[in-house]
């Protein structure tokens, strides 16, 4: 087990939605600001070999927690499949290769539920990751992230690079991305319901049929799971992070509308895709190896997220 408070840690994506919580929890574990390095895109292009080499030279890390990703909802994945593959593949490729040359003590990689096969048996077990092709709209992103599982396995066997791999289900919470063009389903629905609630006569339009199901994990719970993997795991065998509970998108829309206080019309655009039919993770491995399970109830997490969005929009218009 590694004591993170004694390390110099790079958190890629550390200023983002998940990263800010991971960094906060690292400080709670005793890491000083001098030991915690959060690279900014303006200073270091992590998709380039030169950018990563310069980052490592400047920061002199012993541990890397790789959270940075280019990602979005179904629409963004359909519009940018090439970019999403390249950016996510290139970042991981250079960070791992340069990391083994330092060498790092440990590399922690955050995968994605999009790596699972489209028709994987529910609940998804880590052993089934390679049993089929991912859902088509998410495949470039999912395959790029999953390829890095293989790279880390090879680097462990050939170079002895210790690593950990976690596979979180869809995340949500305060500070999420609420841009309707690139956001995931929960922030998009909160924004739509709040807009319609505040603008009488408006209605909410949702993609697909609402029949697909999803599982969601509160961002604080995900951050704790990632750090426990960093502390306890040194082989890149994927470990699911989730709640082992799923909800149909139709029921999710109704729940968010209710929590927002929106009572108006909800329409479904059947010309848009549903995405993967079902998503629900088996989390037994995380409970066994990390002594981890999600602590935040879904409704409490949604209320926190809605309240944060209301405060953020109020502050922006003040």
CATH number at residue 160: 3.40.50.720
CA separation for the pair 313, 303 (Å, rounded): 15
Tell me if residue 141 is catalytic. Answer: yes
Please report whether residue 161 resides in a domain: yes
Helix (H, G, I), strand (E, B) or coil at 276: coil
Q: Per residue of the chain (318 residues), what is the pLDDT tens digit?
A: 899 999 999 999 999 999 999 999 999 999 999 999 999 999 999 999 999 999 999 999 999 999 999 887 777 778 889 999 999 999 999 999 999 999 999 999 999 999 999 999 999 999 999 999 998 988 999 999 999 999 999 999 999 999 999 999 999 999 999 998 878 899 999 999 999 999 988 999 998 999 999 999 999 999 999 999 999 999 999 999 999 899 999 999 999 999 999 999 999 999 988 887 888 999 999 999 999 999 999 999 999 999 999 999 987 665
CA separation for the pair 147, 112 (Å, rounded): 11
| Pair type for strands 63-66 and 216-218 | unpaired
Q: Among residues 141, 155, 172, 218, which one is catalytic?
A: 141
Is residue 143 within 8 A of residue 115, CB to CB? The reply is: yes
DSSP letter, residue 30: T
The burial of 304, by beta-carbon neighbours within 10 Å (0-12 exposed, 13-18 middle, 19 or more buried), is given as middle
| Pair type for strands 213-214 and 247-248 | antiparallel
For residue 271, CA distances in Å to 191, 206, 290 come to 21, 11, 42
DSSP letter, residue 121: P
- CA 192, 198, 201, 207: dihedral to nearest 10 degrees? 10
Please report whether residue 62 resides in a domain: yes
Dihedral (CA of 13, 18, 21, 27) sign? negative
Please report whether residue 206 resides in a domain: no
Please report whether residue 190 resides in a domain: no
The burial of 25, by beta-carbon neighbours within 10 Å (0-12 exposed, 13-18 middle, 19 or more buried), is given as middle
Helix (H, G, I), strand (E, B) or coil at 228: helix
Question: How many Cα atoms are found within 13 Å in the side-chain-facing hemisphere of 5?
Answer: 5
CA separation for the pair 34, 60 (Å, rounded): 11
DSSP H/E element including 109? strand 106-110
Please report whether residue 312 resides in a domain: no
Host domain of residue 97: 4-175+216-245+277-296
pTM of the full structure: 0.93
Please report whether residue 199 resides in a domain: no
Please report whether residue 135 resides in a domain: yes
For residue 119, CA distances in Å to 63, 280, 294 come to 35, 12, 25
Both tokens of residue 89? 């593949």
Please report whether residue 309 resides in a domain: no
Is residue 117 within 8 A of residue 128, CB to CB? The reply is: yes
Number of domains the chain contains: 1
């Amino acid at each position: 087990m590694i004591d993170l408070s004694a390390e110099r840690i790079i958190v890629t994506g550390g200023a983002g939605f998940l990263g800010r919580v991971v960094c906060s929890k690292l400080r709670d574990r005793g890491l000083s600001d001098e030991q915690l390095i959060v690279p900014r895109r303006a200073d270091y292009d992590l998709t380039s070999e030169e950018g990563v080499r310069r980052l490592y030279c400047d920061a002199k890390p012993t541990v890397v927690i790789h959270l940075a990703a280019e990602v979005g909802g179904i629409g963004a994945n359909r519009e940018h499949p090439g970019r999403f593959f390249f950016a996510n593949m290139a970042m991981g490729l250079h960070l791992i290769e340069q990391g083994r040359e330092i060498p790092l003590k440990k590399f922690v990689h955050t995968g994605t539920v999009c790596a699972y096969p489209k028709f994987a048996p529910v609940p998804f077990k880590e052993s089934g990751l390679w049993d089929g092709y991912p859902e088509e709209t998410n495949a470039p992103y999912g395959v790029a992230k999953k390829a890095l599982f293989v790279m880390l396995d090879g680097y462990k066997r050939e170079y002895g690079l210790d690593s950990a791999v976690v596979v979180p289900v869809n995340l949500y919470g305060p500070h999420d991305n609420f841009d309707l063009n690139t956001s995931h389903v929960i922030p998009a629905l909160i924004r739509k319901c709040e807009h319609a609630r505040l603008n009488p006569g408006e209605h909410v339009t949702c993609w697909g049929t609402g029949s697909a199901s999803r599982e969601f994990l509160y961002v604080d719970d995900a951050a704790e799971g990632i750090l426990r993997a960093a502390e306890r795991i040194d082989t890149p065998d994927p470990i699911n992070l989730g709640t082992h509970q799923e909800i149909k998108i139709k029921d999710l829309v109704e729940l968010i509308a209710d929590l927002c206080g929106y009572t108006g019309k909800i329409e479904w655009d059947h010309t848009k895709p549903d995405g993967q039919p079902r998503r629900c993770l088996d989390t037994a491995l995380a409970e066994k190896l990390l002594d981890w399970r999600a602590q935040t109830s879904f409704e409490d997490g949604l209320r926190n997220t809605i309240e944060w969005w209301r405060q953020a929009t109020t502050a922006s218009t003040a």
